[in-house]
Amino acid sequence: MNQDQPTCHSASPEPSPSETFVAFTAGLWKQNPVFVMVLGMCPTLAITNSVRNAIAMGLATTFVMASANAFISMVRKLVPKQVRIATYISMIATSVTIVDYLVKAISIPVYKALGPFIPLIVSNCLTLERAESYAGKNPIGKSILDGLGMGLGFTFALTCLGTVREVLGAGTFLGFPLFGSNFEPWVLFLLPPGGFITLAMWLLTFTLWRERSDKRKRAREAALEKPVEIAS
């Protein structure tokens, strides 16, 4: 992949080897693929009009990422530079095909609900991004953890969106009615614009939250600095 591409959402510095745990947690929160890196937008918007589908999609993606990361990490030392992307893509496509069949075998209704978005995990930029920037450089254990972490972070984000959309749009959560049958649903949230709006709201919330915590952190640092100044 081209290094100077316009939307290079490259991740923050790699976690150091001693912090294997970080490989897992980063994706959940600090480098959340949806809220922070803004990757994998298509399923995020398309498959979140119910919590059930959101979770299913998230787990399918998690599986692909963990297994693709595992394959790639295994062969990373053998693959010459020229065919790196081709190899990665084949491996991801393999994982996806496997998931495709597995979901079909588990539940046809879920498979129908996810529509074309399972095969499309192949071209989900998140998958390739992690393959390139993490699994291609790290040992297998950590790569799997990274895939799992990122995948679960993705699942978490999808669930966040799915919850808002399902609760407001249908008045239910995971299919259970929350407000009784007289609730007036806001159909909009189940429709395409609702996807955009919900994601915008979540991003705004995150920006607000981050700004607040930044401010608090700065305040704390300032408070810490003062006594040092006095001492010197």
User: Which is closer to ligand SF4, CB of 5 or CB of 82?
Assistant: 5
Interface with ligand SF4, residue 114, by CB under 6 A: no
Q: How far is the CB of 4 from ligand FES (least distance, A)?
A: 19
Q: Interaction with ligand SF4 in 26-55: which residues (CB under 6 A)?
A: 39
Q: Distance of alpha carbon 121 from its chain centroid, rounded?
A: 12
CA pair distance 77, 100, nearest whole angstrom: 29
Q: At residue 147, what is the residue type?
A: G
Residues 6+ apart with CB under 8 A from 57: 43, 47, 48, 114, 117, 118, 155, 158
Binding partner of residue 105 among ligand SF4, another protein, ligand FES, none, CB under 5 to 8 Å per kind? Answer: another protein
Minimum CB separation of residue 121 from ligand SF4 in Å reads 12
Helices 140-170 + 51-75 axis angle, to 10 = 170
Q: Which of 40, 136, 153, 195 binds ligand FES (CB under 6 A)?
A: 40
The phi, psi pair for 5, rounded to 5°, reads: -65, 150
Comparing every residue's Cβ against ligand FES, the nearest one is: 42
Single out the segment in contact with ligand SF4 by CB under 6 A; choices: 2-10, 91-99, 112-120, 161-169. Answer: 2-10
Q: Which stretch binds another protein (CB under 8 A): 17-25, 58-66, 71-79, 144-152?
A: 71-79
**Is the CB of 62 or the CB of 198 nearer to another protein?**
198
Question: Shortest gap between Cβ of 105 and ligand FES (angstroms)?
Answer: 25
How is residue 52 written in tokens? 């059930």
**Are the CB atoms for 111 and 103 separated by under 8 Å?**
yes
Measured from the CB atom, the residue of 22 and 125 that comes closer to ligand FES is 125
- 62-72 in b/e form (b: 16+ CB < 10 A) is bbbbbbbbbbb
Please tell me whether residue 76 adopts helix, strand or coil conformation: coil
Partner interacting with residue 189 (select from ligand SF4, another protein, ligand FES, none; CB below 5-8 Å by kind): another protein
Question: How many Cβ atoms sit within 10 Å of the Cβ of residue 142?
Answer: 23
Residue 86 or 219: the one with the smaller Cβ distance to another protein is 86
Residues near ligand SF4 (CB under 6 A) are 1, 3, 5, 7-10, 39, 125, 129, 132-133
